[in-house]
Structure 1
Amino acid sequence: MLILSRKVDESIIIGDNIEVKIISIDKGMVKIGIEAPSSVSILRSELLKEVENSNKAASVHVDDAVLESFYKKFSK
């Protein structure tokens, strides 16, 4: 992990086409701006983890009777 100190209006460049700029710092909160091509996915890590956890929870338990019913209905 690279750790940098930046001031407001300073930025870092990632690769050839991604810029991360410090927009403001206020009351312990840092606002950043990210310029990147639309083909680059930018996600907040806490939201991604929440979706992953929800997907795992949804796939953990499937009632065998439901699966058997589904199989009988669609295997004809």
Structure 2
Amino acid sequence: MLVLSRKAGESVLVGDDVTITVLEVRGDVIRIGIDAPRSVSVQRAELIEQLSSSNRDAASPSDTTVASLAEQLRKRS
């Protein structure tokens, strides 16, 4: 991992098409701006992890859910 120090108003270039600019530093919060082509996906890491976790949970029903579903199917017969 490359670690850089930047001040408000300074930028970092990633490749030829992406510019990351420090907009504001206020305490332990840093606001950044990312200028990238539409073809480059820019996402917050915590949202991707949350979505991935939700998808895993939805794809793996709990034993109680499966048992409840099986019971409902038995009642229909």
Give the TM-score of the pair, scaled to structure 1: 0.80
Query: Which residue number in structure 1 is paired with residue 20 of structure 2?
Result: 20
- In the alignment, structure 1 segments of 5+ residues that lack a partner are 70-76
How far residue 63 of structure 1 moved from its aligned partner, in angstroms, is 3.5
Code of the residue aligned with 2:60 in structure 1: it is V
| Percent identity of paired positions between Structure 1 and Structure 2 | 36
Instruction: Give the distance between the partners of 1:23 and 1:63, measured in 2 at CA.
Output: 50
Instruction: Give the distance between the partners of 1:8 and 1:22, measured in 2 at CA.
Output: 5
Query: Which residue number in structure 2 is paired with residue 54 of structure 1?
Result: 54
Return structure 1 stretches of 4+ with deviation > 3 angstroms: 62-66
Aligned positions, number: 67
- In the alignment, structure 2 segments of 5+ residues that lack a partner are none
Cα RMSD (Å) = 1.8
